[in-house]
Chains A and B, each alone.
Chain A
């Protein structure tokens, strides 16, 4: 039986060569070049995607290990006509300059919202239990795996904060 992976709702057969990272599979085999390769070593976050609801670095995992998994990339989050809330907020707040890190930032932030919704603590959380207060410090810590060479951090945090707090901050 061919092993399959679902990407943005479409099923694809997994590659033959076990060396292919999930990142290279998405970019080269499927032509989904929204996901970016910055470092290829888990250090920059440009390759962040969402697998079964969880954000991971696609450069540090083999495509072959994802039989049956369901992947969401930046292409699956919204379209130019119908952007996701975060995509719209990144535009509104100028959450980028060159844009290279942006797909990773937005995938990461998309999963971050889910993590906040279930009150997963972070290193910045005062308390490990209970409701997490959504502060800039929390957002910065939770986004620390996404580097931005252009240094658009202040606007990235502002965009995420707006969506995370429903504009109430």
Chain B
């Protein structure tokens, strides 16, 4: 690791001030950042340890929702009684990721900001527009099995690798952010960016901005499902994942919020998919139509072509689960 200065931020304003500098990064659980620092993919001159700023609480909001502190760990979140009871898709998504040891250290804020697992990004001897703007993209025409099929650009085809945010997107959660200009809230669905011409910009955080919490809206009834397809049965990143909040009323979809992991540079939420399902009774034809809409602009890069039929089948399986339950 390159030498760096380390300080424990005594206050949010101090942490904002420090991380406003390009050379300083916030460190929370450290499970992603330290990994990347060992690989010299990240080389900050200074680390601002935000772990003792508070923000570790998980608490009810006035309107029946739940606020997850950004420094609460993934484990604390997944095992929280209200998350288990009211937001099971979130518990399931977190538990489907990483390992118990990692989830025990990983924080909710760090999880949202985790960087791509693209092999070219994590190997400093390879070209990568995200790590080194203008150096080219190794994955296009290279090893691209884990890569995106939606929202790609000719600069970068990396995926956002996380699970938790896919569930948060389906649930319609918002991210609370604090910086020198004050506080703001951003829907999880708008938090991550597509690569475009600036693949090094992965989310909407401005320099000096710190995530303080994530707010879940009041729970909805219906069926919540997280289905993750990976290369082995545990401890692997998603090839494709689906987070779904679904409800049937009188045999027709009355709620259909779907987000997808492993497909894009962000948790993928296409409102047209849910709209196509609403008011319709479940059927194979309907599921095909939803998949057609979702995958209309999908494009494979050779090694990841399989993700297109895999996504179609996974979506099908998740939607079919609602009718199995009813039967």
Neighbouring B residues of A144 by C-beta, 8 Å: 99, 234-235
Given contacts A18-B6, A123-B234, A144-B99, contact A128 B84 (CB under 8 A): yes
Contact B85–A129 (Cβ < 8 Å):
yes
Report A89-121 CB contacts with B as 1/0, cut-off 8 Å: 000000000000000000010011001000011
User: Can you name 26 A-B residue pairings with CB atoms under 8 Å?
Assistant: A18-B5, A19-B1, A41-B38, A42-B102, A45-B101, A54-B104, A56-B104, A57-B101, A57-B105, A60-B30, A60-B31, A60-B34, A60-B105, A61-B34, A61-B105, A65-B51, A67-B8, A108-B100, A115-B100, A123-B92, A123-B96, A123-B234, A128-B88, A129-B81, A144-B235, A145-B100
**Cα A57 to Cα B99 with chains together (Å):** 10
Question: Interface residues of B, CB < 8 Å — how many?
Answer: 36
Given contacts A19-B4, A40-B38, A62-B6, contact A128 B105 (CB under 8 A): no
State whether the Cβ of B35 lies closer than 8 Å to any Cβ in chain A: yes
State whether the Cβ of B49 lies closer than 8 Å to any Cβ in chain A: yes
Neighbouring B residues of A145 by C-beta, 8 Å: 98-102, 235
Neighbouring A residues of B47 by C-beta, 8 Å: 18
Contact A120–B79 (Cβ < 8 Å):
yes
**Cα A65 to Cα B78 with chains together (Å):** 24
Contact A65–B49 (Cβ < 8 Å):
yes
Report A40-67 CB contacts with B as 1/0, cut-off 8 Å: 1110010010000011110011101101
Chain A residue nearest in CB terms to B102: A42
Q: Closest approach, in angstroms, between the C-beta of B244 and any C-beta of chain A?
A: 16
Contact residues, A1-31 vs B (CB, 8 A)? 18-19, 21
Report B26-45 CB contacts with A as 1/0, cut-off 8 Å: 01011100110010000000
**Cα A57 to Cα B29 with chains together (Å):** 11
Checking A18, A57, A115, A123 against B4 with a beta-carbon cut-off of 8 angstroms, the contacting residue is A18
Q: Closest approach, in angstroms, between the C-beta of A145 and any C-beta of chain B?
A: 3
Q: Closest approach, in angstroms, between the C-beta of B74 and any C-beta of chain A?
A: 12
> Which 5 residue pairs of A and B lie closest in terms of their CB atoms, listed nearest first?
A145-B99, A18-B6, A144-B234, A128-B84, A144-B235
Q: Closest approach, in angstroms, between the C-beta of A155 and any C-beta of chain B?
A: 19
Q: Closest approach, in angstroms, between the C-beta of A26 and any C-beta of chain B?
A: 15
Neighbouring A residues of B49 by C-beta, 8 Å: 64-65
Q: Closest approach, in angstroms, between the C-beta of B50 and any C-beta of chain A?
A: 11
State whether the Cβ of B116 lies closer than 8 Å to any Cβ in chain A: no
Given contacts A40-B38, A64-B6, A141-B234, contact A121 B84 (CB under 8 A): yes
State whether the Cβ of A88 lies closer than 8 Å to any Cβ in chain B: no
**Cα A7 to Cα B6 with chains together (Å):** 22
State whether the Cβ of B3 lies closer than 8 Å to any Cβ in chain A: yes
Contact B30–A65 (Cβ < 8 Å):
yes
Neighbouring A residues of B38 by C-beta, 8 Å: 40-41
